[in-house]
Structure 1
Amino acid sequence: MDNDLPARTRATREVWLDAAYEVFVNDGIEAVKIMALARKLNLTRTGFYWHFTDLADLHDAIIDIWQSRNTGIILDRCAAPAQSLCGALFNLIDCWINTDLFDAPLDLAIRNWARGDDGLQQLVDTTDQNRLSAVTEVFERFGVKGESAHYRALTVILTQTGYYSMHISEPRWKRAIAGCHYVEVFAGTTPSPAEKAAFLDRHR
């Protein structure tokens, strides 16, 4: 890199990506523009091209964050060890109560973007199927089979999607209490006192 370049042109890739993420989640993909980001960061347009080939490259990076941060965590939580179906569902619901695990505003922004982008919509559809398959496998692992496993898993997914698409906002503790009731509904059985206590302790 040329040492004569102003320091402000040497912002990291993460600085540009963080700014793009903030604009995207708040204002949509149409607002994510190179010059607008440069002005927001008080950087030069040229600096952008040290880290991204073009705007499409930046768009792809945003999608990669979504896949890693949201879909990845769902798959990980579904695969986490558990002694019972209720315990496994508590593992999954953790990521919808702890905002450090699952980024609901990002998920909603991606879905809004996909409505106008057929290629992204195909990716979202495939990703949703992967998420549904992972949750279905949780039920199957604990003896729920066939259509029952599929529709219970679909209910889990749609309940969470409904929360953030309707912009429902609850204090974390209230959402955790609700999570105990949802687990009972989804599993069709009451979680043990120890399972509930362990779950609630994670969200105090």
Structure 2
Amino acid sequence: MNATQDKAAEPTGNVKVTRQDWLDAALAALLKSGVEGVKIQPLGVQLQVSRSSFYWYFTSRKDLLRALLEHWQRTNTAAIVAMAERPAQTITEAVGNVFRCVINPALFDTRLDFAIRDWARRAPDVRAVLQASEAERLEALRAMFARFGCPELEAIARARILYYMQIGYDDAQLNEPMEARNRLVPSYLIGFTGQAPLQSEVDALIAYARAVDAGENPK
């Protein structure tokens, strides 16, 4: 542990909130107003602490913004990679695992993904981070399809179809009821994989979606 970490681990005096409190407030501001809304003084007012509290945990606003990007990578990007690598008996089950990721906002925060994309349009350094994360996501999906016997070019194409369709689907903001999406699950799996799913896979995925819709956080 370095000196900065030692300092952050032992707040004293007028430090009333944690590093995570600052990060959560910054995330909320990013989602509401974009990166321009992430400013130290308004966040301090919201948290009811002085600026000195901020500098206990972060060296600058740039440091805070870097922490936001790291949080996004540890959550959204890591979730897609983990679900693509999750053990499965069939390719339809594997794609169903990826569906679980985007169904559950506790795993993948769609609003945060679009906030990062909006930020990246105006910041070349953030755009580079976004591109690297997207390459990591696509590689995980390509490897998933390859694991089940897809030839190289087909695996690349199917990974892109699955990934970019999901991004476009979320961007369209259809706001359709969960049951409407559930009725299409078997056809979606056929479309993405070229194979008919087992009924048990469909049932498990629909049960997962219903649990999320009911406010639960299933595994």
Structure 1 counterpart of 2:109, from 93, 98, 103: 103
Is 1:63 the counterpart of 2:52 in the alignment?
Answer: no
Distance 2:152 2:169 in 1: 27
Task: Tell me the distance in 2 between the aligned counterparts of 1:178 and 1:169.
Answer: 15
- 1:199 paired with 2:205, answer yes
**SS of residue in 2 equivalent to 1:203:** helix
| RMSD over equivalenced CA pairs, Å | 1.6
Whole-Å separation in 2 of the counterparts to 1:68 and 1:13: 16
2:153 corresponds to: 147
Q: Alignment partner of 1:186: what SS?
A: helix
Paired residues for 1:106-125 under 5 Å: 106-125=112-131
Q: How does 1:38-187 map to 2 (within 5 A)?
A: 38-187=44-193
Give runs of ≥4 in structure 1 deviating > 6 Å. none
Q: SS where residue 49 of structure 1 aligns?
A: helix
- Is the CA contact (8 Å cut-off) linking 1:97 and 1:176 kept in structure 2? no
The residue number in structure 1 matching 2:216 is: none
**Is contact 1:132-1:153 (8 Å) kept?**
yes
Q: Is there any run of 5+ residues in structure 1 with no aligned partner, and where?
A: none
Paired AA for residue 115 in structure 1: R
Q: 1:61 to 1:173 in 2, by over 3 A?
A: farther
Instruction: Assess, with a 3 A threshold, how the Cα gap between structure 1 residues 114 and 183 changes in structure 2: closer, same or farther.
Output: same
How far off is 1:81 after superposition? Answer: 0.5
Displacement of 1:2 in angstroms is 8.2
Q: Once the 2 structures are TM-superposed, how far is the Cα of residue 155 of structure 1 from its aligned partner?
A: 0.7
The residue number in structure 2 matching 1:35 is 41
Shift in Å, 1:170:
3.2
The alpha carbon displacement at 1:173 in A equals 4.0
**1:99 partner amino acid:** P
Q: CA deviation at 1:163?
A: 2.1
Report the TM-score, using the length of structure 2 for normalisation: 0.86
State the match for 2:30 in structure 1.
Answer: 24
For residues 195 and 60 of structure 1, the distance between their equivalents in structure 2, rounded to whole angstroms, comes to 39
Q: Is the 8 A contact 2:138 2:163 kept in 1?
A: yes
* Conserved 8 A contact 2:75-2:108: yes
> How many positions carry a matched residue from both structures?
201
CA contact (8 A) 2:189 2:197 kept: yes
Deviation at 1:138, TM superposition (A): 1.1
CA contact (8 A) 1:156 1:186 kept: yes
**Amino acid in structure 2 at the alignment position of 1:181:** S
Match for 1:85: what amino acid?
I
Greater shift in the superposed pair: 104-113 or 159-168: 159-168
